[in-house]
Amino acid sequence: MAILDQATNGSFVSLMTSTTLFKVGTFFLAWAVLWLPLALPIAMVLKWRPNKPLAPDQKLPLLAALYLIAPLILWGASQLEGVPFSDYGLEWKLSVLGSLGLGLGVGILSLIIVFTGQLLLGWVRWNYENWQRLGPILLPVMLLGLWIGLTEELVFRGFLVNQLQQDYSIWVGAAISSGIFALLHLVWEQKDTIPQLPGLWLMGMVLVLARWVDGGSLGLAWGLHAGWIWGLTCLDSAELIAYTGIGPIWITGLGGKPLAGIVGLLCLLEVGALLLLMLPDQLINIR
């Protein structure tokens, strides 16, 4: 028994003193291992095969199973490190709700500006006859966006950023975490995701900025992320817009995906520029 205790303690100490990237890899591996017993039966029920692209109605149950266990993994990581869960940027305070609301508003406003500009240029048209489809999905999609946004912010802008900043400068850590955030989207889709990788990386950087602006809290980043998911999913699900084909697809976005075009990048850059203006000087000057 003593030998077992020594081995266990030795493994714990080894994990705690290992390099940051090893810790990060261990975290995602543990998450995947816990997810597989749930994912495999779900995939069988949905009749999905790894060599086939995921349909939206197949992706959501698999994503739900993955994100349902995320709090457990994050709690385990906080216990191993001996840090409070709030260190990842989430404290249940009224100020967090205020930042969340601000982020939602800015996220939706940025989409309104982007698509209004494309409407004026004749690149998209509004399908006014589909407006009645919007009402029934507004609340469910908002709740979905809040859930996905919270989970991804806790993992990528919370745990991951905290880990990387132990060995790297804040800007290098932000760039690495954003790269991991972008690349992991390839798990679900490859063909449609590859053109979006630069946009996903930039989105990650903007969301890291939002956390810094919010004093380390995830409230603002959570709101922005949820707002973008909410707005884009509503537009897509209700089929409120259609691309006219007049605008170049490298500007409007390949496959109708804003993140795969200049428009989406400009939207993120505008929000990022706004956040940079709000960023404390001491953070701007740190390399």
Arithmetic mean of pLDDT over the chain? 88
Radius of gyration of the chain (CA): 20
Confidence of residue 22 (pLDDT cuts 50, 70, 90): confident
Confidence of residue 6 (pLDDT cuts 50, 70, 90): very low
User: Pick from 106, 116, 112: which is nearest to 275 by CA?
Assistant: 106
pLDDT of residue 1: 44
pLDDT of residue 8: 43
Confidence of residue 248 (pLDDT cuts 50, 70, 90): very high
- The residue-averaged pLDDT of 258-262 equals 93
- The residue-averaged pLDDT of 63-83 equals 90
* pLDDT tens for each residue of 83-102: 888 899 988 888 899 999 99
Confidence of residue 285 (pLDDT cuts 50, 70, 90): low
Q: In this predicted model, which residue has the larger pLDDT, 160 or 80?
A: 160
pLDDT of residue 204: 97
Confidence of residue 281 (pLDDT cuts 50, 70, 90): low
* pLDDT tens for each residue of 135-171: 899 999 999 999 999 999 999 999 999 999 988 888 9
Cβ 283 vs Cβ 214: under 8 Å: no
pLDDT of residue 176: 94
- Measured between alpha carbons, how far is 271 from 121 in angstroms, rounded to an integer? 22
- The single-letter code of the amino acid at 221 is A
- Residue 199 above 80 pLDDT? yes
* pLDDT tens for each residue of 115-133: 999 999 999 999 989 999 9
49, 186, 241 from 53: Cα distances, Å: 8, 11, 25
Cβ 174 vs Cβ 287: under 8 Å: no
pLDDT of residue 94: 86
Evaluated on CA atoms 190, 193, 198, 202, the torsion sign reads: negative
Q: Which of 7-21, 25-39, 147-161, 243-257 has the lowest mean pLDDT?
A: 7-21
Q: In whole angstroms, what separates CA 189 from the centre of its chain?
A: 15
pLDDT of residue 15: 41
pLDDT of residue 190: 82
